[in-house]
Amino acid sequence: MSLVAEFARELHERESVDNFRPLSPFRTFAQAEKLFDVHAVIFDVYGTLVNYWMPAYTGEEGKLAFLEEAFDRTARQFGMTDFLAVMNPADPPAKTLRDFYHGLIALDHEKSRKRGIEYPEVKIERIWELIILMLKRHGYSIDELDLGDSAEVSRCVAYYYNFHALGRGFFPGVVDALTALREKNIKLGIVSNAQFYTPIDLTLFLRDQSNNRLDDYLELFDVDLVLMSYQVGRAKPGKMLFEKLYDALYELHILPEQTVFVGNDLISDIAPARQAGMRTAFFSGDRASSFTHGREGSVVPDIAFSGWEELPDLLSFYEEKPSESRK
């Protein structure tokens, strides 16, 4: 186990709390009631598998305050507060850290767009490494943290901030649904905007929801069908992740039309997946984190579901029999 994975496991076991909040499922229009000849199902992560939405996100002011608190906790945890105050006495340390963080991301995105990348993605640990470098110039030291070199510390800081900035855990019924699909001989994959900590959290959430029956997320997902934005420097709804998925499916002798993409966003998930030739499933399990962008009439998924217990019954590995054809 890597140092950051061990750091994450200990933090998860020590500080994770039940982030239960009432979900608001809703029904939306879809083209079909059930899909046949499905050989692969590919999932988005955040808002689809992972219930990341926090109650404080409902208003912009509340979200800003909540995230600033996460920056404050991060600064205090890693001994950055005094050095941030020296660097910018005019603002609270948490605001200074937030400004550094978002400013460096914006700068990285700008550089990528100048190179012709329409939907760029950063490696978030690199952002934190640059912040630590700036702090070091004002006397900050990572030696007392006992978390390895600068690269390892940056990953631990990135994980810690994300831990406190997002809700944690799978939506109810995710593991049972994934297991049921695997039992149907359907391959499972991921195409998602994500960071290095996403696979770590997927494993931790899988252990939680399976009561440790499963130990690693790759026990359910096919490693060749797992594509995350941080790995390629490109994000959805750009085409690159879907093009790489197309190549991976080809190697497994699976056609795009035999593949269903599952997401919670009509623009970032459903529309580009359809353009890539896949069929689509829209997860409408929570109105707060399922995004239609007012496009319900123009971007219509093949199927829709509002609870994970529904999905296995909506997908069949086998071709449709004449008696099951829609009339």
Interval 246-305: pLDDT, tens: 999 999 999 999 999 999 999 999 999 999 999 999 999 999 999 999 998 899 999 999
Is there a contact between 10 and 77 (Cβ–Cβ < 8 Å)? Answer: no
Which residues in the chain show pLDDT less than 70? 1, 18-19, 323-327
HSE, side-chain direction, 13 A CA sphere, residue 225: 27
Cβ-based neighbours of 84, under 8 Å, separated by 6 or more? 75, 93, 96, 97, 135
- On whether the pTM is more than 0.85, the answer is yes
Could you tell me the sign of the dihedral formed by the alpha carbons of 287, 290, 291, 294, in that order?
negative
156 Cβ neighbours under 8 A, 6+ residues apart: 3, 4, 7, 145, 147
Q: Where are the domains of the chain?
A: 24-52+168-322, 57-165
- Describe the strand order of the beta sheet including 40-43 as a list of residue ranges: 226-228, 187-192, 40-43, 259-263, 279-283, 303-305
Could you check whether the bond before residue 237 is cis, i.e. omega within 30 degrees of 0? yes
What region, left, alpha or beta, does residue 146 occupy, with left being phi > 0 and alpha being psi -120 to 50 degrees? left
Residue 17, Ramachandran bin (φ over 0: left; ψ between -120 and 50: alpha; else beta): beta
The pLDDT of residue 123 is: 98
User: What is the homologous superfamily of the domain 24-52+168-322 according to CATH?
Assistant: HAD superfamily/HAD-like (3.40.50.1000)
CA dist., res. 154 & res. 150, Å (int): 6
Coil vs helix vs strand at 244:
helix
pLDDT of the residue at 327: 47
130-159 per-position pLDDT tens digit: 999 999 999 999 999 999 999 999 999 999
Write the CB contacts of 176 (distance below 8 Å, at least 6 apart in sequence): 308, 309
Residue 325: what pLDDT? Answer: 57
CB 81 within 8 A of CB 229: no
Per-residue confidence (pLDDT) for residue 19, from 0 to 100? 67
